[in-house]
Structure 1
Amino acid sequence: MTNKTKKTNTPNIREKDPQKERELTLYENPIPSRELILEVMAEIGIPVKKNDLAGSLDIKEAELIFFEKRLRAMAREGQILINRKDVLCIATKLSLIPGKVMGHPDGFGFLIPDNKEDKDVFLSPREMSKVFNSDRVMIQVTGQDRKGRLEGTIIEILDRANKVIVGRVVQSNGVTIVAAEDKRINQDILIPYDEDMKAEEGQVVEVEITTQPSLREKPMGKIIKVLGSYTDSGIEIEIALRKHHLPYQFSSEALNQANQFGEKIDPKVIKGRIDLRELPLVTIDGETARDFDDAVYAEPIGNEWRLVVAIADVSSYVEMGSDLDKEALERGNSVYFPRRVIPMLPESLSNGLCSLNPQVDRLCMVCDMRIDASGLVTSYEFYSSVMNSKARLTYTIVDEILNKNNLQLTEKYGAVHGDLNNLQSVFKLLFNQRQKRGALEFDSTETSIVFTDNGKIDHIKPIYRNEAHRIIEECMLAANVCSAEFLLDKDVDALFRNHETPTEEKLENLRGFLVEFGLFLDGGNKPTVKHYGQLIEQVANRPDAHLLQTVLLRSMQQAVYSDQNKGHFGLAYEAYTHFTSPIRRYPDLVVHRAIKAKVEHRKLNIKDIAQLGEHCSGTERRADEATRDVESWLKCYFMQDKIGEVYDATVAGVTGFGLFVELDGIFIEGLVHVTELGNDYFTFDKSKHAMIGERTHLSYRLGDRLKVKVVRVDLETSKIDLSLIDAEGKVILTKKPPKTKNHTDRKRNTRKRK
Structure 2
Amino acid sequence: MTTETQTDLIDPHAEREAEKYDNPIPSRELISQTLEEESKPLRIFEIARILQVDEDDEERFEALNRRLKAMVRDGQLIRNRRGAFGLLKKMDLIRGRVLGHPDGFGFVVPEEGGKDLFLSEKEMHKVLHGDRVIASIVGEDRRGRHEGAIIEVIEHCTDELLGRLTFEGTLAWVRPDNNRIAQDIFIPQDGLKDAKENQIVLTKILHQPSARSGPIGKIVEVLGDFMDPGMEIDSAIHAHNIPNTWSDELQAELAQIPDEVTEADLDGRKDLRTLQLVTIDGADTKDFDDAVYAKRRKNGGWKLVVAIADVSHYVKPGTELDKEAYKRGNSVYFPQRVVPMLPSKLSDGLCSLNPHVDRLCMVADMAIDASGKLERTQFYQAVMNSKARLTYSQVHEMIVDHQSPLREEFAEQLENVDTLFELFKVLQSAREERGALEFDTTETRIVFDDERKIEEIVPVVRNDAHKLIEECMLMANVATARFLKWHKIPTLYRVHESPMADRLQNLRTFLADFNLQLAGGDTPTAHDYADVSRQVAGKPYEHLVQTVMLRSMNQAVYHPDNKGHFGLNYENYTHFTSPIRRYPDLLVHRAIRYVWGKQPIENFNYDEAKMVELGQHCSDTERRADEATRDAVTFLKCEFLSHRLGEEYEAVITAATNFGLFVEIDPLYVEGLVHITELGDDYFHYDNARHCLKGERSGKVYRLGDRIKVQVAQVNLDDRKVDLRFIESLVSDDFSAESDVASDAHDDSNDEDDNKRKPRKKRFYRKKRSGRAKPKAKD
Does the CA-based 8 Å contact 2:288-2:354 persist in structure 1? yes
Question: Matched residues in 2 for 1:522 and 1:49: separation?
Answer: 57
Structure 1 residue corresponding to 2:367, chosen from 370, 377, 389: 370
- The alpha carbon displacement at 1:662 in A equals 1.0
Q: CA deviation at 1:372?
A: 1.2
Partner of 1:195: 191
Task: From 630, 653, 657, give the equivalent of 1:628.
Answer: 630
Paired residue type of 1:580:
T
**Of residues 473, 484, 487 in structure 1, which corresponds to 2:481?**
484
Aligned pairs for 1:296-307 within 5 A: 296-303=292-299, 304-307=301-304
> Quick check: 2:6–2:52 contact (8 Å CA) kept in 1?
no
Letter in 2 for 1:499: H
1:94-173 equivalent positions in 2, closer than 5 A: 94-117=91-114, 119-171=115-167, 173=169
Q: Aligned pair 1:599/2:596, yes or no?
A: yes
Residues 543 and 266 of structure 1: CA distance in aligned 2, closer, same or farther (over 3 Å):
same
Assess, with a 3 A threshold, how the Cα gap between structure 1 residues 267 and 33 changes in structure 2: closer, same or farther: farther
Alignment pair present for 1:182 and 2:178: yes
User: Matched residue of 1:662: which SS?
Assistant: strand
Distance 1:666 1:131 in 2: 38
Counterpart amino acid of residue 474 in structure 2: L
Amino acid paired to 2:101: H
Assess, with a 3 A threshold, how the Cα gap between structure 1 residues 574 and 93 changes in structure 2: closer, same or farther. Answer: same
**Which of 537, 543, 548 is the equivalent residue of 2:545?**
548
* 2:522 corresponds to: 525
> Which residue is 2:89 aligned to?
92
1:536 to partner: Cα distance? 0.7
Counterpart position of 1:751: none
SS in 1 for 2:380: strand
Q: How far apart are the structure 2 equivalents of 1:510 and 1:355?
A: 44
Equivalent AA in structure 2 for residue 578 of structure 1: H
Q: Decide whether aligned partners of structure 1 residues 62 and 471 sit closer, same or farther in structure 2, where only a CA change above 3 A counts.
A: farther
Task: Quickly say closer, same or farther: Cα 1:61–1:605, change in 2 above 3 A.
Answer: farther
Q: Give me the whole-angstrom Cα distance separating, in 1, the residues matched to 2:100 and 2:271.
A: 55
**1:198 and 1:245, CA in 2 relative to 1: closer, same or farther beyond 3 A?**
same
Equivalent residue, structure 2, for 1:681: 683
Distance 2:60 2:261 in 1: 44
> CA, structure 1 residues 171+390, in 2 after alignment: closer, same or farther (shift >3 Å)?
same
CA deviations on 1:206-237 (whole Å, 9 max, x unpaired) are 11111111122232110111122221000101
Q: Structure 1 560/61 Cα, relative in aligned 2: closer, same or farther at 3 Å?
A: farther
249-258 vs 381-390, which moves further = 249-258
SS of structure 1 residue aligned to 2:429: helix
Distance verdict in 2 for CA 1:727–1:667, change over 3 Å: closer
Which runs of 5 or more residues in structure 2 are unaligned?
A: 731-779
SS at match of 1:133: coil
Shift of 1:195: 0.8
Report the 3-state secondary structure (helix = DSSP H, G, I; strand = E; otherwise coil) of the residue aligned with 1:650: strand
AA partner of residue 244 (structure 1): H
Are residues 43 and 504 of structure 1, via their aligned partners in 2, closer, same or farther at CA, if it must alter by over 3 Å? closer
Give the residue type in structure 1 aligned to 2:258.
Answer: G
Report the alpha carbon displacement of residue 506 of structure 1 after superposing the two structures with TM.
Answer: 0.8
Q: 1:340: how far off?
A: 0.5
Task: Name which of 10, 17, 32 aligns with 1:38.
Answer: 32
Partner residue in 1 for 2:770: none
TM-aligned CA deviation for residue 188 of structure 1: 2.1
Secondary structure (helix, strand or coil) at the match of 2:624 reads: helix
For 1:336 and 1:568, locate their aligned partners in 2 and report how far apart those are by CA, in whole Å: 25
Q: What's the secondary structure of 2:626's corresponding residue?
A: helix
Task: Give the direction of change, closer, same or farther, for the CA distance of 1:265–1:32 in structure 2 (3 Å limit).
Answer: farther
Change (3 A) 1:551 1:5: same
Match of 1:692 among 666, 676, 694: 694
SS at the partner of 2:457?
Answer: strand
Q: Provide the C-alpha distance between the structure 2 equivalents of 1:594 and 1:198, rounded to a whole number of angstroms.
A: 53
Residue identity in the other structure for 1:36: L
TM-score by length of structure 2 reads: 0.88
Report the counterpart of residue 712 of structure 1 in structure 2.
714
SS of the counterpart of 1:227?
A: strand
**Please, which of 212, 216, 236 is the counterpart of residue 216 of structure 1?**
212
Ranked by relative contact order (alpha carbons within 8 Å, sequence separation 6 or more), the top structure is 2
Q: What SS class does the counterpart of residue 183 from structure 2 fall into?
A: coil
Deviation at 1:32, TM superposition (A): 4.9
1:140 CA drift (Å): 1.9
Q: Which residue of 2 aligns with 1:579?
A: 576
Which deviations, in whole Å up to 9, do the C-alpha atoms of 1:578-601 show, x marking residues without a partner? 000000001111111111101221
Match of 2:564 in 1: 567
Match of residue 354, structure 1, among 338, 341, 351: 351
Aligned mates of 2:27, 2:484 — CA distance in 1: 29
Q: In 2 relative to 1, CA 147–403 (structure 1 residues): closer, same or farther, beyond 3 Å?
A: closer
Q: What per-residue deviation string (whole Å, max 9, x for no partner) do you get for residues 658-710 of structure 1?
A: 11111112211111011111111111112222111111111111110111111
Compute the displacement of 1:63 (Å): 7.9
Letter in 1 for 2:511: L
In structure 2, C-alpha distance between the alignment counterparts of 1:21 and 1:543, rounded to whole Å: 68
Distance 1:83 1:589 in 2: 44
How far the C-alpha of 1:305 sits from its partner, in A, is 1.6
Aligned residue number for residue 255 of structure 1: 251
The equivalent position to 2:266 in structure 1, one of 270, 273, 284, is: 270
Structure-2 change in CA distance of 1:306 and 1:215 (3 Å): same
Contact 1:172 1:200 in 2 (8 A): no
Structure 1's unaligned 5+ residue stretches are 729-754
Cα 1:58–1:342 change in 2 (3 A) is: farther
Q: Secondary structure at the match of 2:523?
A: coil
Q: How many residues matched?
A: 721
C-alpha separation in 2, matches of 1:571 and 1:499: 9
Q: 3-state DSSP class of the match of 2:534?
A: helix
Question: Cα distance 1:30–1:720, how it changes in 2: closer, same or farther (>3 A)?
Answer: farther
Q: Which residue of 1 aligns with 2:411?
A: 414
Offset at residue 400 of structure 1 (A): 1.4
Query: How far 1:448 moved relative to its partner?
Result: 0.8
| Whole-angstrom CA distance in 2 between matches of 1:210 and 1:393 | 52
* d(CA) in 2 for partners of 1:364, 1:56: 57
Shift of 1:85: 8.1
Give the deviation of 1:65 after TM superposition: 9.0
Q: Percent identity?
A: 50
| Equivalent pair of 2:6/2:51 in contact (CA under 8 Å) | no
Deviation of 1:412 after TM superposition, in Å, equals 1.6
- Secondary structure of the structure 1 residue equivalent to 2:405: helix
Matches within 5 A, 1:371-410: 371-410=368-407
Letter in 2 for 1:35: E
Once superposed, what is the RMSD of the aligned Cα atoms? 2.5
Tell me the CA shift for residue 8 of structure 1. Answer: 5.8
Q: What is the aligned partner in structure 2 of residue 334 from structure 1?
A: 331
Matched, 1:513 2:507: no
Cα shift readout 1:552-610 (whole Å, capped 9, x = no counterpart): 11111111111101111111101100000000001111111111101221341215111
Whole-angstrom distance in 2 between the partners of 1:506 and 1:241: 33
The match for 1:232 is 228
Residues 13 and 57, structure 1, Cα contact 8 Å, conserved in 2? no
Residues 30 and 393 of structure 1: CA distance in aligned 2, closer, same or farther (over 3 Å): farther
* Displacement after TM superposition at 1:108 (Å): 2.4
Kindly provide the CA deviation profile for residues 282-319 of structure 1, in whole angstroms up to 9, marking residues without a partner as x. Answer: 11100011111101111123213211111111111111
Q: 3-state SS of the aligned residue for 1:726?
A: strand
Tell me how far apart the structure 2 counterparts of residues 536 and 30 of structure 1 sit (CA, whole Å).
62
Is 2:317 the partner of 1:323? no
- TM-score, normalization by structure 1: 0.91
Mean Cα deviation higher: 21-30 or 318-327: 21-30
Task: Please report how far the alpha carbon of residue 714 of structure 1 lies from its aligned counterpart in structure 2 after TM superposition.
Answer: 1.3
- Shift of the 479–692 alpha-carbon distance from structure 1 to 2, 3 Å rule, reads same
Kindly indicate whether the alpha-carbon contact (under 8 Å) linking 1:189 and 1:218 is maintained by their aligned counterparts in 2: yes
